[in-house]
Chain A
């Protein structure tokens, strides 16, 4: 039971570069999410997706792009990385009808922009 896998787990990139964080889930959950976690802010929603080809902005979407051509994949792209995007990024998934409607998280991707 692989669950949700994120890659890369750790990434250092330079300001202005494009970076893509990958997320893959094996449960066929309809919902997928990207959160960022910063000290003092807890978890903030970047983008979410209710199904393949259905995505929408969350709380802090600026500077990010997502796509969801397949149910199981939900990549997050930083088009031109900035230092303020240094953070830990969590991909998550959920299914509305499942018992408890629980949200499940990947292990996180640590991104440093220098």
Chain B
């Protein structure tokens, strides 16, 4: 079975500091994609960053970066220079591609609520 575990239900960080959100997953597949989504109070799901499992280089998107450890099945998100607007629920997810007319299977963690304090 494919699972995604976010072991930190809630975290806090001071504005301008760095915070790391943890995510582990379990799959026997070798080809998959990993994502972090942000859900602010508006409930809109916003893609933060994505990583292809076959790439060794960690993805970076401005202040957001990941630490992808494939052997350990770990995919943590680091937010540098935290801003008040980063306050949100963050979901880790992975996707196993299904190909044409087969189901792209997405699996989501239960989320980590991040509070950025002024």
Q: Which of A33, A43, A100, A108 contacts B44 (CB 8 A)?
A: A108
**Does A34 belong to the interface (CB within 8 Å)?**
no
Interfacial chain A residues near B44, Cβ < 8 Å? 105, 107-108
Interfacial chain A residues near B100, Cβ < 8 Å? 30, 96-97
Report whether over half of chain B's contact residues are helix, strand or loop; otherwise say mixed.
loop
Chain A: CB-nearest residue to B111:
A42
A41 touches B110 (CB 8 A): yes
A96 touches B33 (CB 8 A): no
B43 touches A107 (CB 8 A): yes
**Does A50 belong to the interface (CB within 8 Å)?**
yes
Interfacial chain A residues near B110, Cβ < 8 Å? 40-42
Which of B37, B43, B93 gathers the greatest number of chain A CB atoms within 10 Å? B43
Bound-state Cα–Cα, A28 to B102, Å = 16
B103 touches A100 (CB 8 A): no
Task: Return 18 A-B CB contacts under 8 Å, by A number.
Answer: A30-B101, A37-B43, A40-B110, A42-B108, A42-B109, A43-B108, A50-B102, A51-B101, A94-B106, A96-B98, A96-B99, A96-B100, A97-B100, A100-B50, A102-B35, A103-B93, A105-B44, A108-B45
List chain A positions with a Cβ less than 8 A from chain B: 30-31, 33, 37, 40-43, 45, 48, 50-51, 54, 56, 88, 90, 92, 94, 96-97, 100-105, 107-108, 110
The 5 closest A-B pairs by CB, nearest first: A105-B45, A42-B110, A43-B108, A108-B43, A100-B50
